[in-house]
Amino acid sequence: MIVVTTPTGQIGRQVLGHLLERPDTTAGIRVIARDPARLPERVRAHVEVVEGSHADPTVLKEACEGADRVFWLVPPTPWADSVEGHFRDFTEPLREVIADGGIQRVVSVSTLGRAVAKDAGQVSASLAMDKAIADTGVHYRALCPPFLMENLLGQAESIRDAGTFFLALADDRVLRTCATDDIAATAARLLLDDSWAGQEDIPLVGPDDLSPEGMAQVISEVLDRPVRVQRTSSTDYKATMLRYGASEAWAQGLADMTEAMNTQGFYGAAAPSTPGSAPTGFRQWCQEVLRPAVSA
């Protein structure tokens, strides 16, 4: 039995989609959903649903009863009053379930920056989560992408109406990227394979070596209109997040993460591409995902 967290989220729903494409090799799928009604009817017909949050020990224990594999993702929660506490509140119930036995393999979405990122907000909290899970001794694969291409979808309206997107990153440095479907495909492959053991980080780095300015050029060519990137400061980024309702702690964490990305370079040119696990190029993603979103 495979347990899937965040089945209606950006990555979790794609993981579920890949798993459901292989019903002949899947012993069974159980999902944890805060709002089961958000699951498409075709999905509900083929999975077991446990209602609630996977931060709730009772809910997680129920979902993991009789299961041996878990897809794990801590959802971003901008109103959380502590970044570290948010990750810890999700991770501790998982550690308890693993200690009870039964769960043999965990596939988690983490981030690049292992042994590099320091004081990096949500990145540091994610890396601490990895260590906490790995310390249980469970067979573990941490999927480690850099900047998600889908982060730009939140700026589709600005790209369409103003021809501008904003990044609080140096505009002339390489920014490694990854498409979320490549993360989902890798996760599903690992969840369907019961032969791997031990603990390992799996980098997921797309084939491009684009700077934000280079990304703007690709977007311009795909959309056939001028699009530019405007750099903002981490302070401005924090202020924007606060205006959108983020807590002080969450907004500060994002600012710290951005500063660390700029100064420590863990999403930069030093991270080699991994075409075997992250084949989607930025241009392909813009054609298949961003252009329809901008046109919507």
pLDDT tens, position by position, 60-107 = 999 999 999 999 999 999 999 999 999 999 999 999 999 998 899 999
Tokens representing residue 114 in the block = 């292992």
Q: What is the identity of the amino acid at 237?
A: Y
According to DSSP H, which parts of the chain are helical?
A: 12-20, 41-44, 57-64, 83-99, 122-134, 156-162, 180-191, 212-223, 234-243, 248-264, 282-285, 291-295
* Residue 280 near residue 179, CB atoms below 8 Å: yes
Q: For position 296, what pLDDT does the model report? A: 85
* Percent of the chain's residues with pLDDT above 90: 86
The band of 172, judged by pLDDT with boundaries at 50, 70 and 90, is confident
Q: For position 146, what pLDDT does the model report? A: 96
The set of residues, in sequence order, having a beta carbon less than 8 Å from that of 258 and lying 6+ positions away, is 121, 168, 169, 234, 237
Q: How far is it, in rounded angstroms, from Cα 209 to Cα 21?
A: 32
Q: How far is it, in rounded angstroms, from Cα 280 to Cα 139?
A: 28
Least confident of 89-93, 115-119, 152-156, 194-198: 115-119
Q: How far is it, in rounded angstroms, from Cα 284 to Cα 199?
A: 32
The band of 26, judged by pLDDT with boundaries at 50, 70 and 90, is low
Q: How far is it, in rounded angstroms, from Cα 174 to Cα 153?
A: 20
- Say which residue, 267 or 171, is predicted with more confidence: 267
The yes-or-no verdict on residue 24 having pLDDT over 70 is: no
Query: pTM here?
Result: 0.95
Q: How far is it, in rounded angstroms, from Cα 51 to Cα 59?
A: 7
CATH number of 2-145+180-203: 3.40.50.720
Query: What residue ranges do the domains of the chain occupy?
Result: 2-145+180-203
Helices then strands, counting H and E runs in the chain, come out as 12, 11
Least confident of 20-34, 86-100, 113-127: 20-34
Angle ∠(80,293,210) on CA atoms, nearest 5: 80
Q: What is the identity of the amino acid at 137?
A: G
The yes-or-no verdict on residue 35 having pLDDT over 90 is: yes
Q: For position 108, what pLDDT does the model report? A: 98
